[in-house]
Amino acid sequence: MKCYKYHRLGSFLIVLATVLLTFSAQAQKKKKKTAPPPNYDFHDSHFHLTNYIQRGITVQQYLEIMGNRVGRSTLFGIPLQQTWAYQNSGNYSPTYYLQSDAPLYYYSFTDAYIASVYNKLSPEQKQRFDPMITGFNPADMYAKDHIKRVLETFPGVFSGIGEFTVHKEFVSSKVAGEVASLTNPALDSVLDFAGKVGLAVILHSDLDMPFAKTDAEPVYLSQMKALLKRHPKTTIIWAHIGLGRVVHPVQQSGSASSNERSPIFMQIVEGMLSDPELKHVYFDISWDEVAKYVISTPEALQNSISVLNRFPDRCLFGTDVVAPSSPEMYYAVYNMYEPLWKGLNPEASEKLRKGNYEKIFNEARIKVRAWEKANVK
């Protein structure tokens, strides 16, 4: 009889332990589901996994660099390949477009490569990336067909197109074949298709010619505005606000001082941000070359802070880092902007670093997946 009681007591304790463990597991699972997301510093709206000779780091290495500081990131390579012309550089193999006089050519395989590395990620890891299609020639009327073919071949992968280039200092003139133009119908065809599909667009086109020295209107400004206004249904991110290594903010005649030229440039930016016909256009402040202009003087910094605080919904931060070899290299651009982060109000800072990225690319994911469901067999 005593043994029977002990047996019943043992059975009861086993059942009780099982119930408690079950409740504990459910509680932990519920806690995990409702736990707040990591407090990321930013999402990266502009990142190149590979360089001008299609080499770089793996996506797994990039995830390690992102860690808990970067939430999401665009993912693309470089659409152009630098030629290694033996007659030009001999045994020296150039890895950057400034290291050789040999031409550049469009490298369409970059899209297949990005899709292949993305598709090897886990579902959780995929949520952190927004791959982009870049391997097309914007001067080719068949460019739209390339983009459509990539979507049909790799459904469920891409969120947008870009970064692709129209005008770029020291690059455009090196590209083999017809030079791209803001007035070329091929570019209109690409942007029209992107709007119909819902693809977000990252477009690089310099605002002005290199080393411009007068306060005349930037060479490409009118063409750029006209292009943007022709495509009101397409979400377009103008990379680097049209600036570059030597394409600097518009300056007053006879002056090279950044605090004198910055207000003129900011007037152009404010005018575009205030234009209701350009409400579909965003600016990214990626690239250390852009950061140097923003923080160059107290006046330039304050002008930037003022505009960003007034238009918090229209700008994004990106690194524009190419195949970073270390976390230090990757985070250098973000750290350059430290004076800007300190000067922005909380709303503008949050939207610039994270909110506007989420708005643009969440919407792109939904629209592109819906287009694929309706059009891809």
Question: Stretch 165-171: mean pLDDT, rounded?
Answer: 94
Q: How do 160-165 and 200-204 pair as beta strands?
A: parallel
Provide the pLDDT for residue 32. Answer: 44
Provide the pLDDT for residue 271. Answer: 96
Question: Stretch 59-78: mean pLDDT, rounded?
Answer: 98
Identify the band that residue 37 occupies on the pLDDT scale cut at 50, 70 and 90. Answer: low
Nearest to 284 by CA among 294, 298, 271: 294
Provide the pLDDT for residue 4. Answer: 47
Q: What is the CATH number of domain 39-375?
A: 3.20.20.140
Report which of residues 353 and 18 the model is more confident about: 353
pLDDT in tens, 313-364: 999 999 999 999 999 999 999 999 999 999 999 999 999 999 999 999 999 9
Provide the pLDDT for residue 34. Answer: 43
- The whole-chain average pLDDT of the chain stands at 90
User: pTM (2 decimals)?
Assistant: 0.88
79: pLDDT strictly greater than 70: yes
Report which of residues 249 and 85 the model is more confident about: 85
Provide the pLDDT for residue 14. Answer: 52
Identify the band that residue 36 occupies on the pLDDT scale cut at 50, 70 and 90. Answer: low
91: pLDDT strictly greater than 80: yes
In the chain the beta strands, taken as DSSP E runs, fall at 42-44, 47-48, 70-75, 80-82, 104-106, 129-133, 160-165, 200-204, 236-238, 281-284, 315-316, 321-322
Nearest to 361 by CA among 282, 307, 290, 279: 282
